[in-house]
Chain A
Amino acid sequence: MLSKNLKRMATTAVGAVMALTPAAILADGHYDGVVVNIMTRPGPVIAGRMVDRGKEFKAMTGAEIRVAEVPFAELFQKILTDWATGTRSIDVGVFASGWGVEYVSAGLVENLDPYIAKDSKIDLDDIAPFFRDFNQKVQGSTYFITLDGDFQMLYYRTDVLEEAGLQPPKTWEEYLDVASKVHGMDMNGDGEADYGSCIFKKRNAQSFFAVQSMAASRVQAMGTNEGIYFHPDSMKPKINNEAWIKAFEIYKATGEYGPPDELNHDIGDSRALAIGGRCALMIDWGDIGPLSIEEGSMINDKVGAVIMPGSKEVLDAATGKLVPCDSNRCPYAIDGINFAPFAAFGGWTGAISKASDAKVKQAAYDFLSYMNQAEQSNVDVTMGWTGYNPYRNSQLDSTAAWEEAGFSKAAAENYLGAIMESLNHPNMASDIRIPGAAQYTSVVLDREVARYLADEISVEQAVANIEEAWEEITEDFGRDEQAQIYALSLGITN
């Protein structure tokens, strides 16, 4: 529905790939009668591609793939209640890997290590290190199969910036500067003034991801295992400090160059504006790239991507103050700027319920592996409507697939370059991956950000409130357990 042409093209591409695959991964029909129930968010995004691939999978193996969809906001608790209470109507949940830790710690998710050991097709080495070593794992074992690589990047209008004689911003200060200079220009030729920056700010949507993206490069400089949320040993929140305060302030400041009702915009609204050619700068997951070439887009070939802006100052955790970057504090800095691309949401990953029957579990694993294998996923990630973004290096090797999908060579190179840089960045910031993740970020952080953006409270109050509420949540779940899981989620193993 979103783009008929693309969809048609995609099916032919899949047909071609299948024709080229000499032997299907599994013998025919040996899963006859097996039904795998998958639950995820409403399609066509994420779910739609699983339905298509499910049909192929059934043709190959006989296993029926049923995809059930519930509204995004209810997904987390829906799967957890289903699995915890033993309802067993769901075999596979497809959700953010960050949520998954809670399922794993409740003992509900199948450990996939034995399955992977027997699987010759999955080729883990091809998966980008952050997803392979952090995002798919809990406590050193793989529990999730990545279907989608999520991290945010900065997108800019090449034509607008060129016209204004500006470079894409490298820090958030530059971002505001660029936004202020181009704000009010007509960017799509309709005679109306357009916006310097479009960043969703709606409550109970995605705004807490945006503020974390802005904070990450100020909080974390020592690599993924430094983490952006807590002091790993004491589990004290690392939030009531200058770095987060600055991030909050920047987030609010971007609103001055955005549409007037941005407080009620979620990512869908922001994307619609961006694709309509009304924004000079925006932050987004990988989706804008493929979306920009869909029919009806006003920004085809006019959008560039770079790694999320960084910062010249980084948090000194002991004092809570920002200190200038030096080679000790910021080992990965480039030209004195510390970057920390934030793996917001962590991407859609599949997990298998421990309670399902062995045969169903094997079939479920085979299906997830089938989705994940380069042959399938390298096609899927080039299509905007699937919602899948790259997470394998081979997906970025050549621009051929992307050009075939409709990118110009220059645009494809630019887009893939930005992804490559973010994806393999040693200082990539992990999304929160501990029990209660939803309460820490999507309830507390989100609410305080919203109140600050709506001028209900000052930024100091906001971070103080978050600190207090996070401490309460930590106490509720047990400080020691939380500290242990947090450390493991960051790969700290002492």
Chain B
Amino acid sequence: MTKPAARRSLFEPPDIGQMATATKIVLYTVLLAWSAFVLFPIYWLIITSFKTIAAVNQGPYFLPWIDFEPSLHAWKELFVNDYRDTFRAYFNSIVISLSATALAILVGSMAAYALSRVKFAPNLITILYFVGLLALTGVAVGIYDVDWRVAAATAIALFFFLARAIGRLYQLRLQNGDILFWIISQRILAPIVVVVPIYMMFQSVRLLDTHLAIILTYTVINLPVVVWLMYDFFNSIPRDLEESAQLDGATMIGIFREIILPLSRAGLAATTLLVVILCWNEYLLALFLSTNKAQTMPILVAAMNAGERGILWWTMSAVIMIMIIPVVIMAILLQKYIAKGILVGAVKG
């Protein structure tokens, strides 16, 4: 692959200069048509949140003040009558998304950095042995009701006792690429596969319906994304700086904090935005892990389908709108980084 052209700024689009007028017209038509396709549903969402029930039910009305008289009833419902539910869900969503993102970015970029700089060679057989023991312990505790302390102690003892011997027998070593792939492949898991055991796990430590449970779960499901994007990003950073710092006696933590992180601001910004969006919009896991106190915004959206009385389109539109606004603001703030961040990450992928 080619190295990024250093001479010009990374993000200056190729200047095609004199396009034929016909080409320009076609181009603008296509882009404007697509903008309409993207924006129209959002426009409809916005006007629906200002429609009365009658205006929604009696057929399509397009223009406020001309077709129908806008009304604030849905907004009033959300911010006056039910303000407690609304604000709680909003607050929960913010706390959960930001904490989970921060945690995922921290843990994920550390792992990505280690993978891009340090050579690992874990023994495959030892790992399989470890996982096998773990599974057996899980079965013993979960199903045959063995005391978990006994099971854990036995497992640990067995592991240390036999690990070396077994490891030496088979020298099948993994490489960094395999570890990376293993982490990334976690993203393939559909949440529905693991959600029941996760529920039971949090239940047994009494963490259901708490922010912590959802934060931890979101952190893990988004780790692969962070590792994937940040690994490529770190790889694209030239190593000379680190090497000279190392000569000056800097530790890995020091290098990571003072050289690498500042250099990867763009990549971090892009990844952060992506992970925030994923956390902010997640529904299925939030549904499982919250009953009451920790409910997030997507659940509030789903709750606007009041079953027998039909869907409360007006309030639902308002809820979706207040969900979009912070993300859009964040995207605009981070905009100048995003392009660069994704650029380096993706191109190197």
Direct contact of A and B (CB under 8 A): yes
Smallest CB separation, A41 vs chain B (Å): 7
- Other-chain contact of B287, A2, A74, A272, A287 (Cβ < 8 Å): A74
Is A161 located at the chain interface by the 8 A CB criterion?
A: no
- Other-chain contact of A272, B304, B310, B315 (Cβ < 8 Å): B310
Closest to A72 in B: B307
Closest to B301 in A: A71
Smallest CB separation, B77 vs chain A (Å): 5
Smallest CB separation, A73 vs chain B (Å): 9
Instruction: Please count how many residues in chain A sit with their CB below 8 Å of the partner chain's CB atoms.
Output: 35
Smallest CB separation, B10 vs chain A (Å): 46
Are the C-beta atoms of A45 and B292 separated by less than 8 Å? Answer: no
- Other-chain contact of A85, B73, B203, B305 (Cβ < 8 Å): B203
Q: Which residues of A contact B299 (CB under 8 A)?
A: 70-71
Smallest CB separation, A56 vs chain B (Å): 18
Q: Which residues of B contact A85 (CB under 8 A)?
A: 200, 203
Looking at chain A's contact residues, the main secondary structure is loop
Contacts of A1-36 to chain B: CB distance below 8 A: 1-2
Is A320 located at the chain interface by the 8 A CB criterion?
A: no
Is A276 located at the chain interface by the 8 A CB criterion?
A: yes
Q: A68-B291, A81-B199 are in contact. Are A271 and B310 (CB under 8 A)?
A: yes
Are the C-beta atoms of A287 and B308 separated by less than 8 Å? Answer: yes
Are the C-beta atoms of A45 and B303 separated by less than 8 Å? Answer: no
Are the C-beta atoms of A296 and B54 separated by less than 8 Å? Answer: yes
Q: A1-B73, A89-B209 are in contact. Are A268 and B291 (CB under 8 A)?
A: no
How far is A45 from B307 in the complex, measured between Cα atoms in Å?
Answer: 9
- Other-chain contact of A45, B291, B308, B315 (Cβ < 8 Å): B308
- Residue among B54, B73, B292, B302 with most chain A CB within 10 A: B292
How far is A81 from B204 in the complex, measured between Cα atoms in Å?
Answer: 12
Smallest CB separation, B291 vs chain A (Å): 5
Are the C-beta atoms of B308 and A387 separated by less than 8 Å? Answer: yes
Are the C-beta atoms of A271 and B309 separated by less than 8 Å? Answer: yes
Are the C-beta atoms of B292 and A68 separated by less than 8 Å? Answer: yes
How far is A44 from B308 in the complex, measured between Cα atoms in Å?
Answer: 11
How far is A71 from B304 in the complex, measured between Cα atoms in Å?
Answer: 9
On A, residues with C-beta under 8 Å from B are: 1-2, 37, 39, 41-45, 66, 68-72, 74, 78, 81-82, 85-87, 89-90, 266-269, 271-272, 276, 285, 287, 296, 387
Given A87-B203, A90-B291, A296-B54, 15 more A-B residue pairs with CB atoms under 8 Å apart are: A1-B312, A1-B315, A39-B291, A41-B307, A43-B306, A44-B306, A71-B302, A71-B303, A71-B305, A74-B287, A86-B203, A89-B208, A267-B307, A268-B307, A271-B309
8 A-B contacts, Cβ less than 8 Å apart? A42-B303, A45-B309, A68-B292, A69-B303, A71-B302, A71-B303, A81-B199, A86-B203
